[in-house]
Structure 1
Amino acid sequence: MNKKLQQRFSELEAQLDEIEKTKKSVNGVYGDTETIDYDLFTGWKVKVKNLLATACGENSQHFVAFERGEKRGTMESNYSIKKRLGAIFLAAKEDFDGGYLASLKYLVQAEVFDSELEQAKELLSSGYKLASAVICGVVLETALRDLCDSNAIPHGKLDTMNAQLAKAGVYNRLQQKRITAIADIRNSAAHGRPEEFIDLDVENMIRDVESFLLSYLA
């Protein structure tokens, strides 16, 4: 799951080295200062922020520190900012390589999923099968989006993401068919068609989504 992200960390580390090679001294109003290729540096920052948001979330310490590190201090050169952001990025890469970033993100997400699926179960037991199926479908779609992020696959409709993930080998065709069946129930519920499925279908739907999360997002 994390191979694409690991590759991206390595690519951006190599780009950081290339930016370092552009360093040169220039004579300014306040004396000599070190500068770097601004366009390369700007592009690198955008790509790193996207990677950190995907790998560990926008509320993570690494992402927050990177955003703060972008702010220019008084009389500060681009090279000074590059050194600071480079250190933050390399710390994030070290944590990712050690298995800490993605695992933390998915741990938090798992807690959210557990809570939502518990809500779906309670709604079903109270006779609200439509609402239960819709919530379960939202959990599944969110999980597919996370898998797409981890495998550099663009977001899209549920059936499109399902097909792309299966095509990429993230899971097999049998799992793809199970997801399609779950999506059919979700769609019937979302369009207010309770006659198209029974309580047992929703019960199986919740079970299958739980199994999917354990298999592919644990």
Structure 2
Amino acid sequence: MTEKFEKFSKALDELIREGDMLHMSMQYIFMPEKFKRAAEEKFEDPKKTKKYLDDLPDFYTSYQSWYSEAQSLIAQILPNRLTDFQNYYEYPRVRKETTFQNYMIKDMLQGLRVTRYGNEVVADGSSAIPEFVQQLNIVKAAREKLNSTLIDLTNLLQADVFDSEIDSAQALAKSGFLRAAGAICGVIIEKHLQSVAKQRKISIKKKNPTIADLNEALKAAEVISVPQWRFIQHLADIRNLCGHAKGSEPTVDDINDLVLGTNKIIKNIF
């Protein structure tokens, strides 16, 4: 069992624990009296009940970090559910009206409340509770997948290799071997983008695609944003500078940017 596997296992356990607490927090926000009565019945001690309620996280300030970490782990362990996970947060791009069915977590965080006929509530923050429950269920499914013998460890092992190779690139850069460090980073970026394209089932026409080819394909498939596309393009330019014998020499700042950027890509693009 790899160190990365152990790290993911502990991270998922913590995400599930935090997720359960965030779920409790949502219920307390929108059903305070009912939730408080249930807590009083459970603890049968006013002090314990108060401590429990006081210790609940603030959903509005805690959710985004939970979402970001969960999204990253799901992409590597259960990639076929990543889009579903994201869709429970983000409201549809085209939405003629907001209803209970299409009210998402992002709506809740923005404080959206929809009424009609003056006082009748169509959708409010409580409408996002089922969406969060589904996100939490996907995280729990990822935990089960990690435990099963059917899990594909390729991504986990690859992540270990990439971390090691980035360390090697940093060591080479510190020793003055700038082109070698840049070349290693270029290979890491290329392999990672190929892996992302494969997971997303994006067809790449070229047999041996470059970073630029992969970057264009991921942008066209809307896997990456325009700012991310530009960032990768910038890193590819530095990598190309390292691969050409003639022309300008890469600077220390160039390689430092490339190393840091490579680490950012493998941690945030999936």
Shift of 1:157: 2.4
In structure 1, the gaps of 5 or more residues are: 7-94
TM superposition shift of 1:104: 2.8
The equivalent of 1:159 in structure 2 is 212
Match of 2:248, SS?
Answer: helix
1:137 equivalent among 176, 183, 186: 186
**1:5 Cα deviation (Å)?**
10
After superposition, the Cα gap between the structure-2 partners of 1:149 and 1:143, relative to the gap in structure 1 and judged at 3 Å, is same
2:193–2:214 Cα contact (<8 Å) kept: yes
Q: Is the 8 A contact 2:178 2:252 kept in 1?
A: yes
Q: CA 1:193 to 1:129, structure 2 compared with 1: closer, same or farther past 3 Å? A: farther
1:180: how far off? Answer: 0.6
Indicate if the aligned counterparts of 2:241 and 2:249 stay in contact, CA closer than 8 A. Answer: yes
CA RMSD between the two structures: 2.8
TM-score (norm 2): 0.43
Q: Out of 106-115 and 190-199, give the one that drifted further.
A: 190-199
Q: Deviations over 1:132-165 (max 9, x none)?
A: 0000000000001000100112342221110110
Aligned positions, number: 130
1:3 aligns with 80
Give the letter for the 1:107 counterpart: L
Q: Which amino acid is the alignment partner of residue 234 of structure 2?
A: A
Matched, 1:215 2:268: yes
Where do 4+ consecutive residues of structure 1 move more than 4 Å? 95-98
Hey, what's the Cα distance between the residues in 2 that align with 1:97 and 1:158?
32
TM-score by length of 1: 0.53
Matched-pair contact (CA < 8 Å) for 1:4–1:152: no
Residue 103 of structure 1: CA displacement?
6.8
Q: Is contact 1:130–1:194 with CA below 8 Å preserved after alignment?
A: no
Distance 1:99 1:165 in 2: 27
Q: Deviations over 1:60-114 (max 9, x none)?
A: xxxxxxxxxxxxxxxxxxxxxxxxxxxxxxxxxxx98954366732211111001
Name the % identity. Answer: 29
